[in-house]
Amino acid sequence: MSVEDVGALIQLLVACDGHCEALLLLSGSLPADDVESLAQEARIDMIVSDRTDLHSARPVSEVLEMAPGQPGSSITPCKTEWIMTTSGTTGRPKMISHTLESLSRTVSRPTEGAQQNIWGLVYDPTRFAGMQVVLQSLLGGGVLVVSSPQDSMGQRLALFGNEGITHLSATPTLWRRFLMQPEISSLALRQITLGGEIADQTILDALHRQFSDARIVHIYASTELGVGFSVKDLREGFPAAWLDQAPGSIAMRITEGTLRIKAATTSAASGAEQQMAPDDDGYLDTQDTVEKIGGRVLFRGRDNGTVNIGGVKIYPETVEQILNARPEVMISHVFSKKNPFSGNILIAEVVISPGIDNEADLKTDLLRHCRDKLPKEAVPALIRVVPDIILNPAGKVRRS
Amino acid sequence: MREIISNIFKGIWVEQTQSEPPVLTNDTVLLDTGLDSLGFAIVVTRLEEELGYDPFSISEDAYYPQTFGEFVEFYELHRPKA
């Protein structure tokens, strides 16, 4: 299913879970070609959509009419696999299998007399983080507030303020944008969740200042491994003591600079086992580089060479290739730098061919070239012309 | 300072949107100008190259300016003493 209307999507999930073999949840904004090819790959029998550009799709209303309980329905109950996608680094989504049970494992059930939680939804509900918000709010007995996809950031926050949301979950990049909107002051949040990217001390402090009474939680989750933990002490990273005694049913250690996790119970992340083999003690490499400083373990980035720019994973080498393709560029080095607005930003250093005297024009030209060839997050924020670029002994551009 | 920031902002605005930059006043809400957070990330990076400092990394406080006036003020406040 690729459905833009969140209300319709939820109705479909309720109607279909337990009555079909598998549900493939695809974003309502996924290009039509990708929807068709992923559906084929997952051997899907029927595409349901409220989009106009998916010609083979059945309308939502038609499928809801076929649902069990409706006259003439002959569907027998079964256990349903929920196939969701995770952002791959190649741009094409990667499929990961779940069940409603595994997805709602951390959902707290409503308790008698408790204050009702009102959740705002800013994530795509077909992705893991968004589905967590949907399930947590609805199965947890709360309310879910969804804005129209056409709403601006300011309109969305104003709606959340009017509806009195108490819980909001977003990436650090989105939180930075929220804090830059005057409408942020209309929110009275009791719980703030950050996930999907490294939550640095700056964003935690800024949120604590704006919402001094709110519980602020940052989540570390490895979708591939299907495990994670949350940190609630308002500090970046996690306590080094967890390397000896981790919370929940996991064990952690640092090997060769990356975080390794061993889960007591392997979850439903079925794609994981094929890609990653655990070491002799059963620990899996998260590929997240970490550093132990004092009593804290801090996240530094990804070990697979990607950098996260505003929530998008980029290989700096790809940008170098684009720059090196130009005759004016002899060699380039692209690296990331921390930035308060987008988490990281790319900077390109280039050595230019002899005989080029107008550097300003060349920089403008190279940036235009990058914008034509790359997603906007991958375009360097700055191009610096340098006399030389240091190579490592293997003759490669040095990466640190 | 205001002029340097304003010029860099407008340059990036033209680069990103290929259209006439907006008029910037103290009350202009940064994200309402049409430049997104990635755009502001670029503004801060180029300003550091031009001015030699980044107030966001100097400042002890975690601060996210909302208006253009607050943005300029933050740069003035954290200008390194000569």
Which residues make Cβ contacts (< 8 Å) with residue A398, sequence separation at least 6? A333, A390, A391, A392
* Domain end residue (candidates: A84, A103, A122): A103
Reported as a pLDDT band with limits 50, 70 and 90, residue B81 is: confident
**A313 in the same domain as A371:** yes
Contact criterion met (CB below 8 Å) for A364 and A358: no
What's the start-to-end Cα distance of chain B, in Å? 15
pLDDT at A297: 97
Q: Which of B18, B32, B45 to mutate to test the interface with A (most CBs of A within 10 A)?
A: B45
Please give the pLDDT value at position A366: 95
Report chain A residues whose CB lies below 8 A from the CB of B63.
206
| A336 and A376 part of one domain | yes
3-state secondary structure of A110: coil
Q: What is the CA A10 to chain-centroid distance, rounded?
A: 21
Interface touch B62/A154, C-beta < 8 Å: no
Strands A167-170 and A191-194: parallel
Burial of A7 (0-12, 13-18, 19+ CB in 10 A): exposed
Does residue A232 belong to any structural domain of this protein? no
- A99 and A157 assigned to the same domain: no
Residues in chain A with CB shorter than 8 Å from the CB of B56 are 202, 339-340
Question: For B21-42, how does the pLDDT look when each residue is reduced to its tens digit (9 = 90+)?
Answer: 889 999 999 988 888 889 999 9
| A345 assigned to some structural domain | yes
Which residue in this structure is represented by tokens 């951390």? A106
Give chain A's domain count.
4
Same-domain status, A80 and A2: yes
Tell me what ipTM this predicted complex has.
0.88
Contact A54, A3 (CB under 8 A): no
- Give buried/exposed letters for A233-269 (b at 16+ CB in 10 A, else e): eebbbbbeebbeebeeebbbeeeeebbbbbbeebbbb
* Residue B31 to residue A153, Cβ atoms within 8 A: yes
pLDDT, greater one: B80 or A222: B80
Is A333 found in the same domain as A291? no
Q: Measure the N-to-C terminal CA separation of chain A; round to a whole number of Å.
A: 42
Nearest to A109 by CA among A90, A149, A136: A136
Q: What is the pLDDT of residue A372?
A: 92
Q: Which residue of B has its CA nearest to A176?
A: B64
- Which domains are assigned to chain B? 2-77 (1.10.1200)
**Residue in chain A lying closest to B47 (CA):** A382
Q: In order along chain A (400 residues), what is the average pLDDT of each group of 10 residues? A: 94 91 92 92 93 92 78 70 76 81 82 87 91 93 91 93 96 86 95 90 92 96 75 96 91 93 62 60 88 93 83 87 89 89 91 87 93 92 88 62
Query: Tokens 């719980």 belong to which residue?
Result: A191
Together in a domain, A311 and A268: no
Residue A3 resides in a domain: yes
Range of the structural domain that residue A172 is part of:
109-222
The per-residue pLDDT for A269 is 46
Does position B67 have pLDDT exceeding 70, yes or no?
yes
Q: Looking up tokens 């390109």, which residue turns up?
A: A348
Cα A347 from Cα B49, distance rounded (Å) = 11
Residue A384: what are its φ and ψ, rounded to 5°? -115, 130
* Facing A180 at nearest CB: one of B15, B38, B65: B65
- Map A6-61 to HEC letters: HHHHHHHHHHHCCCCCEEECECCCCCHHHHHHHHHHCCCCCCEECCCCCCCCECHH
- Any bridge partners for residue A351, and if so which? A331
Residue A45 identity: D
Of A103, A124, A150, which residue sits at a domain end? A103
pLDDT value of residue A397: 66
Site from B38, B54, B61 to mutate, A interface, most A CB atoms within 10 angstroms: B38
Statement to judge: residues A290 and A349 lie in one domain: no
In whole angstroms, give the CA distance from residue A249 to residue A336.
35
The number of angstroms, rounded, from the C-alpha of A230 to the middle of its chain's C-alpha atoms is 16
Q: Residue B67: list chain A partners with CB under 8 A.
A: 182
- Is there a domain that residue A394 lies in? no
CA distances from B20 to A27, A96, B13, B16 (A): 34, 45, 8, 11
The pLDDT, as a whole number, for residue A271 is 43
The secondary structure of residue B22, as a DSSP letter, is P
Do A305 and A294 meet the contact criterion of CB atoms below 8 Å apart? no
Averaged pLDDT, B61-73 = 91
Q: A295 and A313 share a domain?
A: no
Is A393 part of a structural domain of the chain?
Answer: no
**Taking a contact as any Cβ pair under 8 Å apart, which residues of chain A between 279 and 318 contact chain B?**
309-310
Instruction: Point out the domain boundary residue: A161, A191, A222.
Output: A222
**CATH number of the domain within which A170 lies:** 3.40.50.980
Question: CA torsion angle for A234, A238, A240, A246 (degrees, to 10)?
Answer: 120
Residue B29, chain A, CB below 8 Å: the answer is yes
CA distance A102 to A84: 12
Residues A10 and A64 in one domain: yes
**Among the partner residues B31, B49, B57, nearest to A181 by beta-carbon distance:** B31
Is there a single domain that holds both residue A253 and residue A338?
no
